[in-house]
Amino acid sequence: MSQNPYDRLLKSVEVSGETFKYYSLPDLNDSRYDELPYSIRVLLEGCVRNCDNFSVKESDVENILNWVKTSRESIEIPFNPARVLMQDFTGVPAVVDLAALRDAMKRLGGNPKNINPLVPVDLVIDHSVQVDAFRSKEALEFNQEKEFERNYERFKFLKWGSKAFEGLTIVPPGSGIVHQVNLEYLARGVFNNNGLLYPDSVVGTDSHTTMINGLGVLGWGVGGIEAEAAMLGQPISMVLPLVVGYKLTGKLQGTATSTDLVLTITQNLRKLGVVGKFVEFYGEGVEALTLADRATISNMSPEYGATMGFFPVDDQTLKYLRQTGRPELNVNYIESYLKKQKLFLDHSSKVSYSQTLELDLSSIVPCLAGPKRPQDRVAQSDLQRDFKACMSAPRGFKGFEVPHDHFGAQVNIEYKGQNYTLKHGSVVIAAITSCTNTSNPSVMIAAGLVAKKAVELGLDVPPYLKTSLSPGSGVVSEYLTRSGLQKSLDQIGFQVVGYGCMTCIGNSGELPDVVHQAIADNQMVCASVLSGNRNFEARVHPLTQANYLASPPLVVVYALAGTVDIDLQTQPLGTNKDGKQVFLRDVWPTHEEINAVMDQFVKPDMFTSVYDKINKGTPEWNSMQTPDTQLYPWDEQSTYIHNPPYFLTLGTEANETVEPIRDARVLLNLGDSITTDHISPAGNISAKSSAAEFLSSKGVDRKDFNTYGARRGNDEVMVRGTFANVRLLNKLAGKPGPQTIHVPSGELLSIYDASARYKADNVPVIVLGGEEYGSGSSRDWAAKGPFLLGVKAVIAQSFERIHRSNLVGMGIIPLQFKKGEGADQLGLTGKETYSIDLGSDIKPGQNVSVKVKGEAGEKSFDAVLRFDTEVELVYYKNGGILNYVLRNLLKNSK
């Protein structure tokens, strides 16, 4: 490896009596640097610092400096993140793959110990706890006990990984949500690596890793497959992005919250189209936002489609670092370093952006998003009208297609000795949950104040309604408890049920039996209201068809109302014990009330005391005994952890000859906005599913099925759970559910059974998709599952960034229909056979001819090959990114 040609830029800086070194970007003496967006300057620093003219070249530095021009030319650059972040749903399969790579390394004659993270890796166990118990003071303890009972095998495996792999730190369950823990504790702001300073940067195996951009840390979600390669020292290859400058002016007014702001931004940016782009916020309105407000906006980057939404570091950032208990020395060198590098926000600098957008914060009004997508914003004042319109509209993103004569349907239920009535629009789940909002004291305190006023006015929440509070960290409980607001939340049913990602990820648990039966038997369109970031079909709960994202205080309000079919401007939330009507305006707190509680009760000592305990773990965690071995002792009887088949027959050399796909059958013909929830559900395992059949054959009782998310470490379960979403609409089957037509026989089969039939006959399969294929959470199983089903290519109208990358990482070809074309436009039914020949000289973005044979004869159409970089071609020829990394490590270990 050659010496870094930019060592000439190494400078020293003294901070608080200590001397540090850094690569000085201003000493490039290049006027183009001052025009670069701040996010691009961070990419530049990484290339300057890591330049070896092998994996990172001087030409990469020049391309970034020339960003104004090169960003419009799809130029490829390498990115070496400073660290990797994982949660347990996506982290377990990553650690499983690392363990399998060690086995493969040994089989191929290399040293297994070479399979080790080369950058710091933090894994926070936060996605396993479910809302089993609720509305009781025992709920938290019960749910945490159930979490350990259900996930003991997984937790034991992860604990083994933390001992077996150097540089892998596990944050035990019960500590909080990964993104909030990252924001409040794990993020460095600036790395101090043996006296060398450089910007903190991170890739995570969860799409909401972007939350850290609110702290001025460059970071975004990648597939677990990419993250594993980054852990093993492989630079992430990316296209130098366009940057949208989003100017914010004014201040939030009246009853508007940061949640209302982010739902508006999400709608605006989805409309603009920012997939694959960075969004960078600037303007005087940014100064009016707290760090927590910024983090809320950055968190929802996946919902508005951007790679990330970035807020450069400024005085608010430093204030937050001190508020969360970061050491003063660290804050001092962060400030000094970033200012010297011109990475500290300067409002007078003339930054160039690819395009700009502007928003006046004073125009924001209270709103929700739904009923099925986070970008479908609805003003709170219009929700009743919008819900009624959705009732009769054709089934789709804004429609339930309920017959007109069923609009007035109602069902009487008896719950705990009292009679209640369920109607269309009845709220059955109200959850203050997820990383997006529980990290923000202003909206959490607002929720507490609504509860306090409601209790004082004699209001309550219907007892059958499943209410829950799952904070993102113990700090939230500290300030809610000290302020007395938790007591009010408890009184109306919002007890703490766990510290983790719960209802938003689908871990909402079961509804009360009578509620479940009433909805299922009568096809009621009942609702959930949650303070989350995702509300895709069947995600929150299979029985809640209408799911609305809202701020925490609005979650409490709609729980009190018990329905979304209400005009809160004119209709009361309820009546008190004296029969007096209570309205929304009577319970809504002012900004002054919220700020007064924040100023008094949100203190730095809370953060330091909570996070001092974080690595100590619970008694259950500490008592687990794990194998002290370099290689994992796989248990073939385990239904949680299984040795995956990816590397079992892998040879030492890549296949340079790309084989054409001949006469492939269509496994699924899908429409627009197919999410990773559709492709690889994380929620409950249906008793009628292929995965359930497999678990039953292994002697697992129905009550112990757990969730798909919890079983991500077992490929045999997950391949059977691929495309298993009960709301999936496959045009071949013609009705919702995980079924398809096995075209040669005409039989309607489960997706897994049809795949197995095609495999037995040596018939390759493909998938047809519409716009935004693979949107939603970054799930590696949404690519691994199709790979194991035998999918060779996906042809879609457009791809979500992370999912497209994951398909490439598993050796699946992503092909994009030409603009204006799609399966329907080309008259493709999915009953044809498809042949695809990439040729011998593959180029990123080339046109590929797809030949189709059907009953009407033969035809062909051109599609765009969505291998976006030269490196992705290398991955494909190796059969996937991990195969490539393993072969490289094998060569270096001999």
Please indicate, yes or no, whether residues 381 and 332 belong to a single structural domain of this protein. Answer: no
Any domain includes 109:
yes
Any domain includes 717:
no
pTM of the model: 0.86
Please indicate, yes or no, whether residues 544 and 674 belong to a single structural domain of this protein. Answer: no
Any domain includes 724:
no
Domain count, the chain: 4
Q: How confident is the model at residue 894 (pLDDT cuts 50, 70, 90)?
A: low
- Look up residue 275 and give its amino acid: V
- Look up residue 7 and give its amino acid: D
Please indicate, yes or no, whether residues 93 and 109 belong to a single structural domain of this protein. Answer: yes
CATH number at residue 439: 3.30.499.10
More confident residue, 151 or 369: 369
Domain termination site, one of 581, 602, 623: 602
Any domain includes 189:
yes
More confident residue, 801 or 741: 741
Q: Mean pLDDT lowest for which of 431-435, 483-487, 515-519?
A: 431-435
Please indicate, yes or no, whether residues 186 and 220 belong to a single structural domain of this protein. Answer: yes
> 196: which strand partners?
21, 193
Residues 279-293 have pLDDT tens digits of 999 999 999 999 999
Q: In the prediction, which pLDDT does 870 show?
A: 85
Per the CB < 8 A criterion, the answer to whether 530 and 504 are in contact is yes
Please indicate, yes or no, whether residues 119 and 51 belong to a single structural domain of this protein. Answer: no
Please indicate, yes or no, whether residues 353 and 376 belong to a single structural domain of this protein. Answer: no
Q: Determine what percent of the chain is predicted with pLDDT higher than 90.
A: 84
Any domain includes 635:
no
CATH number at residue 780: 3.20.19.10
339 closest CA partner among 41, 640, 701: 41
Any domain includes 851:
yes
Q: In the prediction, which pLDDT does 776 show?
A: 79
Please indicate, yes or no, whether residues 406 and 429 belong to a single structural domain of this protein. Answer: yes
Residues 316-352 have pLDDT tens digits of 999 999 999 999 999 999 999 999 999 999 988 899 9
1, pLDDT greater than 60: no
778, pLDDT greater than 80: no
What is the average pLDDT across 656-680?
A: 93
- Return contacts of 411-416, CB within 8 angstroms, 24+ apart: 411/518, 411/521, 411/522, 411/524, 413/464, 413/514, 413/515, 413/518, 414/514, 415/463, 415/464, 415/512, 415/514, 415/515, 416/463, 416/464
Helix (H) or strand (E) holding 662: strand 661-669
DSSP state of 860: E
Q: Mean pLDDT lowest for which of 122-136, 150-164, 220-234?
A: 220-234
Maximum pairwise Cα distance, the chain: 83
Domain termination site, one of 561, 585, 602: 602
640 closest CA partner among 40, 92, 59: 92
Please indicate, yes or no, whether residues 58 and 184 belong to a single structural domain of this protein. Answer: no
Domain termination site, one of 326, 342, 363: 363
Q: How confident is the model at residue 777 (pLDDT cuts 50, 70, 90)?
A: confident
Q: How confident is the model at residue 269 (pLDDT cuts 50, 70, 90)?
A: very high
Which phi and psi angles does 447 have, rounded to 5°?
-60, -40
Q: In the prediction, which pLDDT does 450 show?
A: 98
What is the average pLDDT across 673-682?
A: 91
Q: Determine what percent of the chain is predicted with pLDDT higher than 70.
A: 99
- Domain around 749: 661-680+729-877
Residues 10-34 have pLDDT tens digits of 999 999 999 999 999 999 999 999 9
DSSP 97-136: HHHHHHHHHHHTTS-GGG-S-SS-EEEE--S-----S-SS
Q: How confident is the model at residue 55 (pLDDT cuts 50, 70, 90)?
A: confident
Residues 629-640 have pLDDT tens digits of 999 999 999 999
Any domain includes 473:
yes
Q: How confident is the model at residue 512 (pLDDT cuts 50, 70, 90)?
A: very high
Per the CB < 8 A criterion, the answer to whether 767 and 666 are in contact is yes
Q: In the prediction, which pLDDT does 247 show?
A: 98
Per the CB < 8 A criterion, the answer to whether 156 and 634 are in contact is no
- Return contacts of 317-322, CB within 8 angstroms, 24+ apart: 317/189, 317/215, 317/216, 317/291, 319/291, 320/215, 320/290, 320/291, 320/292, 321/189, 322/604
Residues 711-727 have pLDDT tens digits of 999 999 999 999 999 88
Residues 397-448 have pLDDT tens digits of 999 999 999 999 999 999 999 999 999 999 999 999 988 898 899 999 999 9
Any domain includes 637:
no
849, pLDDT greater than 60: yes
Length of the chain equals 894
Q: In the prediction, which pLDDT does 869 show?
A: 84
Q: In the prediction, which pLDDT does 617 show?
A: 78
Per the CB < 8 A criterion, the answer to whether 750 and 741 are in contact is no
Please indicate, yes or no, whether residues 397 and 416 belong to a single structural domain of this protein. Answer: yes
What is the average pLDDT across 552-557?
A: 98
Please indicate, yes or no, whether residues 297 and 409 belong to a single structural domain of this protein. Answer: no
Please indicate, yes or no, whether residues 422 and 498 belong to a single structural domain of this protein. Answer: yes
237, pLDDT greater than 60: yes
Q: Mean pLDDT lowest for which of 344-358, 487-501, 653-667?
A: 653-667
Please indicate, yes or no, whether residues 559 and 674 belong to a single structural domain of this protein. Answer: no
